[in-house]
Amino acid sequence: MANEALDTIRKIVTDLTTLEVVTLVTDIQVNKQQQPDGSQKTTFEPQDKAVVKGCVTTINMIDGDIRNYIGAGLADEEYDRITKFHTAQVEKGQEVIRSTISALKDAAQLIKEMTTST
């Protein structure tokens, strides 16, 4: 059981290696789907597949590679507002990943201690 828990933590940490933040200025379609556990999952899709207003940032948390893509369709004032908002979202995303990895590390250490003490 402890090995299964550690394997799950390893998979989660592996999934957290890339942070992708997408900020789009476009009309969206909101989709809501009922999940088997009774919760509701909401997804958003741009209605126009050729969105030019927005920013995308990908950060590889292992090697530190950061890639920013900024659409050409933003006007000056709009550009400033969107990029400031996007930057704040990237910073929040990085903090969420850091705290999640820290919590998973603590959980893995606790599981490891439990398995070596029995």
pLDDT in tens, 53-106: 888 899 887 788 889 888 877 767 788 888 899 999 999 988 888 888 888 888
pLDDT tens digits along 95-115? 888 888 888 888 888 888 877
**Residue 117: what residue type?**
S
The upper half-sphere exposure of residue 7, i.e. CA atoms within 13 Å in the direction of its Cβ, equals 4
Which has the closest alpha carbon to 101: 16, 19, 20, 21?
16
Residue with tokens 């969105």: 51
